[in-house]
Amino acid sequence: MSPAALEVRNLSVTIGQARIVRDVSWSVAKGETLGIVGESGSGKSISVLSAAGLGPASARIDGTVALTIDGREQDLLSMPGSQLRRIRGRRLGFVFQDPGTSLNPMLTIGRQLTEGPEVHLGMSRTQSRKRALELLELVGIPDPERRLKSYPHELSGGMRQRIMIAVALACDPEVLIADEATTALDVTTQAQILDAIRDLQNRLGTATVWISHDLAVVGGIADEVVVMYGGEVLERAETVELFRSTQHPYTRGLFESRPHLGERVDQLTSIPGAPPDPRATPPGCVFWERCQVRGDKRCRTDHPELVETSPGHWVRSFYTMSGADPHQDTASTVRPLPWKEHR
């Protein structure tokens, strides 16, 4: 595995009494894509945004966020705000969920594309304009000359999101962070955007962090997946491994919730309940309340650590859905039963 472009170590985000993100660690390397999957409230977005200084001002952030630039590692959390600002946009590019509102409706596309290079790369207006045209071609926007003078409301959702991607890549950042970037798009456009991102990544070698609630999307684009729930990382593995051998009951639940095309179901299943209140986190496993397996008596009272059950596959649980208790080497509670059987 190549050295990490961005590595998060033991990240915690607390707002007042609420511990929104707890001890989260992951990394993404150059040219690779990390997918972060979780429901609303899992802390998946906040963890990344806070790391870059885009979180709420009152948030307290602990841990290390190491960005490697030209071989040198820098901790984003320990640098002054002004320095962090210079890194944003230049080394980190962001794509957000709703391109309709994420672009400034009063400015032309061209202006929004040239802003970044002018500020971070010191380009002149002519130079940045050239760069803008390059970017539009890069993301596959037809007739780029005309588009420079267009306003966001004149474009379709798919095109707007492509522009957002172009904006994010304007200064050739080391890491691209996409937060629910395709959630607001229809399925066809979604597929197009995903293709575009994959293509761009191949060409530019940008490390990508893809945040989504949609396992299918993440599966299609990520090399490695991190599953978050209630502010914690519950499972982490390379994508193929995760899909092949899902070990945490929550991840299993995510898989089971997805209807498969062509399959008739009598009922749509989903995981009943809601994430715990971050102001009062339970003493045991954070998923215990909604867990329909509860395969170990320690689940309720003790907080499980992240354990590597096989190379590169980490699970935070006292048992796994495929067999052994990862906290001990002996196989204890074995509950390999499919989800549906629990009522």
Q: Three-state SS for 307?
A: strand
Alpha-carbon span 247 to 233, nearest angstrom: 13
Alpha-carbon span 80 to 76, nearest angstrom: 9
Q: Which residue's CB is nearer to other proteins, number 1 or number 279?
A: 279
Q: Which residue's CB is nearer to other proteins, number 104 or number 328?
A: 104
Q: How far is the CB of 141 from other proteins (least distance, A)?
A: 16
Say how many C-beta atoms besides its own lie within 10 A of residue 1's C-beta.
Answer: 10
Q: How far is the CB of 250 from other proteins (least distance, A)?
A: 11
* Nearest CA-CA partner of 24 in 209, 195, 197: 209
Q: How far is the CB of 327 from other proteins (least distance, A)?
A: 28
Q: Which residue's CB is nearer to other proteins, number 73 or number 154?
A: 154
Q: Which residue's CB is nearer to other proteins, number 108 or number 245?
A: 108
* Nearest CA-CA partner of 232 in 282, 271, 270, 269: 282
Q: How far is the CB of 173 from other proteins (least distance, A)?
A: 10
Q: How far is the CB of 328 from other proteins (least distance, A)?
A: 31
Tokens of 286: 């954070």
Which residues bind to other proteins, rule: CB under 8 A? 15, 18, 20, 39-46, 52, 54, 56, 59, 85-90, 92-94, 96-98, 101-107, 115-116, 119-120, 151, 153-154, 164, 167-168, 170, 213, 254, 257, 264-275, 277-278, 343
Question: Could you tell me the CA-to-CA distances from 292 to 139, 149, 238, 303 in Å, in that order?
Answer: 44, 55, 25, 17
Amino acid code (one letter) for 38: G
Q: Which residue's CB is nearer to other proteins, number 19 or number 313?
A: 19
